[in-house]
Copies of this chain bind each other. A is one copy, B any other.
Amino acid sequence: MCFKTRMARGTDIQIAQSFDITGDFLAGRIRHELSPDDLSHLESSIADERRLKDREKLVTRGETLSRSAILVSGFMFRTLERGGQRYIVGIHLPGDFVDLHGLALGRLDHDVVAAGPAKVGFIEHEALDLAMAERPGIARALWFATLLDAAIHRRWIQMLEQLDAPRRIAHIFCEVQTRLGMVGKTNARAARTPFTQTDLADMCGVSAVHANRAVSRLREMELAEIRRGTLYTKDWEALREYASFEPSYLYANNAKTRSPVEA
């Protein structure tokens, strides 16, 4: 909630606000379509913050929610528990509203847990309802954000239907790298995450042992080296091709990924 002003880089000299909590919301997607006023309104709606430890659960499925959380830093998972086994059905990274589906649905059908240390900001549902009623741009943005999740879900379904384990892991890292890029947290050579091989296994629907062999396979093929959650590669393009990764489903606002039909 601390506002700083600074000069923006580039040809257009303008005053830009720094949004400590909501600054990554929809960045790289349709953030630019929100008015400065809407952006300030969102940031000032933050009622509270909280730091989460590794594996700490923020939301349990079924509970009634009165506020929603936006991820400020770190990673989180959407998980479903089933017979003692954990299934990861989605990944959150900074800028994501991690439990926004609970606003429209009333309750969540899954858990939301931290992957590594994380920090979230809270907005009361009351404040969100009010903001949506008064500001169509915010209503549209929140809807968009949840449907982006749905689009990612669909690609995960297709990924699970199509790819073998090494390709699934490659695809997941390609997605994470691309999404990190949208919020300006990317690193050219490496995708840094706190994911263990067990986490990867639970995303891919394979055993931890097999996830390990899949990681080894990527190394043998010299496509990528994964060490303690960080994927290193010299050739992102080769990795993307191997995983059939095609980023248009992430609805980035640049021309390249916006191209409607790509092989």
Contacts and interface: CB of A to CB of B under 8 A. Distances in A.
B143 A83 contact: no
Nearest to A129: B136
Most buried by B among A156, A157, A260: A157
A148 B105 contact: yes
Contacts of A162: 82, 85, 87, 205
Contacts of A242: none
A-side interface size class: 35 or more
26 contacts: A62-B248, A63-B260, A83-B244, A87-B158, A87-B161, A87-B162, A89-B158, A104-B147, A105-B144, A105-B147, A105-B151, A109-B151, A109-B155, A110-B154, A132-B139, A133-B136, A146-B146, A146-B147, A146-B150, A150-B150, A153-B153, A153-B154, A156-B157, A160-B161, A161-B202, A161-B204
A63 B87 CA distance: 34
Contacts of A249: 109
Copies of this chain in its oligomeric complex: 2
A18 B142 CA distance: 33
Interface in A132-177: 132-133, 136, 139-140, 143-144, 146-151, 153-158, 160-162
Most buried by B among A140, A147, A151: A147
Interface of A: 60-63, 78, 80, 82-83, 85, 87, 89-90, 101, 104-107, 109-110, 132-133, 136, 139-140, 143-144, 146-151, 153-158, 160-162, 202-205, 244, 248-249, 251, 259-261
